[in-house]
Structure 1
Amino acid sequence: MPSKVPMRLVIVGGVAGGMSAATRARRLDETASITVFERGSYVSYANCGIPYALGGVIKDDAALVLQTPQAVNDRFNIDVQINKEVLSINRENHTVDVRAKGSESIQQVPYDKLILSQGAEPFRPPIGGIDLPNVFTLQTIPDLQKVKAYLAEHGGTRVAIIGGGFIGLEVADALHNLGLEISIVEYMPHVFPPLDADLAGPLHAEIRRHNVNLLLNARIEKIEAPGIDTPGRVVLVDGVPILADLVIVVVGIRARTSLAEKANLKIGKTGVTVNPFMQTSDPDIYAVGDMIESEHRITGRALQLALAGPANRQGRLAADNIFGRKISYRGNVGTSACKVFNLTVASVGFSVTSLLQMGFDPLWVTVHPPDHAGYYPGSHPMTLKVAFEKETGRLLGAQAVGTAGIDKRIDVLATAMQAGMTMFDLEHLELAYAPPYGSAKDPVNMAGFVGSNLLRGDVNIIHAEDLKIGQDAAQIVDVRSPGEVSRGYIPYAVNIPLNKLRENVSTLDKGRRVVVYCQVGYRGYLAYRILKQKGFDVVNLDGGYKSVLEGGFKALQTSREKL
């Protein structure tokens, strides 16, 4: 029998998705010719670690480089060519035009199957001075090296970070270790845009507690370079100057689609269009990672998701399908986590704000359980907010902020969302319990209990943003102890401690709605059950006074000392 003709597989891009595809392809076919073209100087490196290398948490930049071209060739027999840019694709002839860095000559390379894994590029907003020599983006190892070289040559103690998303917060955290003066300039009303505003409140407090100058709703007019006797500045439209020897711009990314566009591949709103098998509109060309749009499990819509985990899985799936394994991508749920000084913030799915903007009509609950058993030393409260469908209880999103155990809970919820679970299912999850690690009622279970109570009609709640206060509004009953109330309370609230509620029911007007609240919600729920069964129109404040205090609802806060 004639020998099998080896497949010629060409991969454009040698980081997460590209190298995952290349090594998976080799494991599936020992005879295939596999070539990877990477326009940069590094392949298979951990760009998520770059902020920590900048701040010295990761001591050696070389630790970010997981493989070298030679190491990949030695182990996998893959031809990895760095500093080589693919300029165009000839779909009819099945070739790509490649040019080496610093060369004018063009090399034509044939392919049977082509995988595009070009990632995304940093967005540079149209601001005066955005191209000054002291202004940098931070996405690649060369970016990291440029920033370090600038600091080594020019010195400086003041850094302005434009953008308060993932990378901006990580950079602020990392650079704080170097003793630099840091400002974060964020265009939106709060940092970490995947969150709702009330969950961002603890992050703002943590950032400012570390002496970082945090500016929200900030509009930048221009950036000015440092002079011989004058400091660099970021100037806001209101005229406020922020002193900055160094400016790092991390305001988002844009999918690299120019090569695909030139090849007349189908492009969506935010990236290259692919099917569940990672194929583009050309069946012989696949695309993966940050440059594509892929289905979100919650909405079914195609969205760009710039995360390394999905990129690696997509690269693997592209190789599977090229070599005959018809495995479809199950879509994203958008799971992420970020360290913000001593806090961790994480989310999955969509925030309530995003869900409302997309036309959903969700329910949501907020709980504040400890990360592990409260009687075991070192426990810390967390805030966990879960959104779900009103009709079915299907999970739509979750957000959490706290000192410990945050990633664990969001990972559980991400798994539940991938499995199509509901709030009712969360009640029944059996999760690891030992006092140093969790509680008999895990925070995920607690969210399930509260959400299921709401769905079953065992409680009716009101959220802080919907609470109206005043003499003509609902009766507000604070069921905490007098000591707790002395540290702050909601205006117009009457204090009736839970244990004395039954004997004081007659003091409440049955003709007016009653809002009950405690510190985190549980005692409020007990008060709700008492009053509901006595015929009152009553609601419990979701998340209790802690959600008011940490969520930034200043109009709902009164300090006893001010009276």
Structure 2
Amino acid sequence: MKYVIIGGDAAGMSAAMEIVRRDKQAEVTTLDKGHIYSYGQCGLPYVIAGRIPSTDNVIARSVDTFRKKYGIDAKTGHNVTNIDSEAKTVSGIVLETDESFHISYDRLLIATGANPIFPNFEGSDLAGIHTLKTIPDTKAILNDLNDSVKQVTIIGGGYIGLEMAESIAELGKKVRIIQLGNQLADIFDEDMAELIHEEARQNGIELIFNEEVKGFKGKDHVQTVVTDKGEYETDFVLAAIGVKPNTNFLDGTGMHMTPKGAILVNPYMETSLENVYAAGDCASHFHRIKQKDDYIPLGTTANKQGRIAGMNMAGGANTFKGIVGTSVVKFFHLTLGRTGLSEKEADELGFDYEVHKQKAKDIAGYYPGNQEMQLKLIYEKKTQKLFGAQIIGGNGVDKRIDVFATALYHEMTLNDLLDLDLAYAPPFNGVWDPIQQIAKRKS
């Protein structure tokens, strides 16, 4: 059986490893246009901050390891430009030689990930303007963030924008964030985002809201960011506007896609084309609360979907159970956690819901070192079934958001939270966990 996988990172190599474990006669070929396989993209901002010493530290397995230890034909510098599902071939260009290649398959996985969104701004070809997605991106940023850089401008206030604002500020640079909308981290509701704004300002981050970037000025190097309302001097620009599925090469194949350009997959990770699977940041993600396909690209989801795709390509019948939209990020002294639906999403879906907010301590209030967190809970008005949670605070946010995520997966109610047998000792928790405190007030 010939297996071909397009993409050499989280989803692609999770699938490849499942195939070689399950099919000892498998011929596995992986194709990636880059030269580095299987690395932790989420760790890259911390390489820039210096907390992780080198990009080498975020590489899980080298290309040679896949080749020599696991027998995978891991090709680099291979840019796939077309698939032919009737002929069962993939074709493209070897970037270093400009030669074309054609490879046949029995089963194909598309795991091409996502690309940073970067509009065709005027002046975007100037030096000093960057995006962050890959290890080469990281090295280019580190090379440009020299002592001459005093002022950095970040376009976009999502997770990458926040993480990079913190990392660059730690290098002693002045940091400005320009955001098209009226808040940072718009996966949080506006009332919770105010806590993020306060933390940003306390750490010297300049926030510019409700302005649209139109372009850049400079001679050879960027010197000015131009918006619809003004101009801002800068020495360096990071565009962190978001990502989009890397699926343009599938135009004309007849592949069923979402409006955002992600490949539609069923629970077995199969696409609309026979013997073609997709997984990760290029694919759709079924949302258990919304009960429909969504697009929330995260490394955790990519690894899970890739694993299931590989199992099924090798003859299994396993299903992806879906996501509930869980994420967490460090921002200076805060931890930002969320899962399920925000108020905005619940409104869009027409759900009849209620909201409760409460402050709580991460550990026993009398124990030294306790820290405050702000919790926000969204639940169905009639049944008190949980819809979503947002928590912002210091220590212990990740623990609680994971409990909420588990509760959402199992369709629990406020009353169900009170019955959970959660760990308690004063250095770790209060006798009533914060999630039970908020449930007790409303159930």
TMscore range, shorter length: over 0.9
Residue 219 (structure 1) aligned with residue 209 (structure 2)? no
* 1:463 paired residue number: none
Task: State the AA in 2 paired with 1:443.
Answer: P
Within 5 Å, which residues of 2 pair with 1:221-236?
Answer: 221-225=214-218, 232-236=223-227
* 1:266 paired residue number: 256
Structure 1 residues not aligned, in runs of 5+: 1-6, 453-563
Relative to the length of structure 2, the TM-score reads 0.97
* 1:139 paired residue number: 133
SS in 1 for 2:183: coil
Q: Do 2:375 and 2:390's aligned partners in 1 also have CA atoms closer than 8 Å?
A: yes
Relative contact order, higher structure (CA 8 A, sep 6+): 2
d(CA) in 2 for partners of 1:222, 1:51: 25
* 1:55 paired residue number: 49
Point out the structure with the larger strand share.
Answer: 2
Task: State the AA in 2 paired with 1:33.
Answer: E
SS in 2 for 1:305: coil
Write out the 4+ residue segments of structure 1 that deviate beyond 6 Å after TM superposition: none
Q: Do 1:279 and 1:287's aligned partners in 2 also have CA atoms closer than 8 Å?
A: yes
Following superposition, the deviation at residue 354 of structure 1 comes to 1.9
* 2:266 paired residue number: 275
Q: Do 2:127 and 2:220's aligned partners in 1 also have CA atoms closer than 8 Å?
A: no
SS in 2 for 1:185: strand
* 2:303 paired residue number: 312
* Cα RMSD after superposing both structures: 1.5
State the aligned residue count: 442
Following superposition, the deviation at residue 381 of structure 1 comes to 1.0
d(CA) in 1 for partners of 2:233, 2:335: 29
* 1:197 paired residue number: 190
Following superposition, the deviation at residue 226 of structure 1 comes to 6.0
Relative to the length of structure 1, the TM-score reads 0.76
Q: Do 2:376 and 2:391's aligned partners in 1 also have CA atoms closer than 8 Å?
A: yes
* 1:96 paired residue number: 90
d(CA) in 2 for partners of 1:72, 1:80: 7
Identity percentage over the alignment? 35
Task: State the AA in 2 paired with 1:373.
Answer: A
* 2:110 paired residue number: 116
d(CA) in 1 for partners of 2:219, 2:410: 54
SS in 1 for 2:81: strand
Residue 301 (structure 1) aligned with residue 292 (structure 2)? yes
d(CA) in 2 for partners of 1:432, 1:419: 20
Task: State the AA in 2 paired with 1:250.
Answer: A
Sort the Cα spacing of 1:225 and 1:82 in 2 relative to 1 into closer, same or farther, 3 A.
same
Structure 2 residues not aligned, in runs of 5+: none
- Could you report, residue by residue, the CA deviation over 1:486-512 in whole angstroms, capped at 9, with x for unpaired residues? xxxxxxxxxxxxxxxxxxxxxxxxxxx
* 2:181 paired residue number: 188
Following superposition, the deviation at residue 263 of structure 1 comes to 2.0
Task: State the AA in 1 paired with 2:185.
Answer: F
Which is higher, the Rg of structure 1 or of structure 2? 1
* 2:24 paired residue number: 30
* 1:330 paired residue number: 321
Following superposition, the deviation at residue 126 of structure 1 comes to 4.1
Sort the Cα spacing of 1:176 and 1:286 in 2 relative to 1 into closer, same or farther, 3 A.
same
Question: Structure 2 residue aligned with 1:148, among 139, 142, 157?
Answer: 142
SS in 2 for 1:106: strand
Question: Structure 1 residue aligned with 2:401, among 410, 413, 423?
Answer: 410
SS in 2 for 1:346: strand
* 1:513 paired residue number: none
Task: State the AA in 2 paired with 1:251.
Answer: I
- Could you report, residue by residue, the CA deviation over 1:422-454 in whole angstroms, capped at 9, with x for unpaired residues? 1121111111111111111001111221231xx
Task: State the AA in 2 paired with 1:222.
Answer: G
Sort the Cα spacing of 1:98 and 1:220 in 2 relative to 1 into closer, same or farther, 3 A.
closer
Question: Structure 2 residue aligned with 1:206, among 199, 202, 207?
Answer: 199
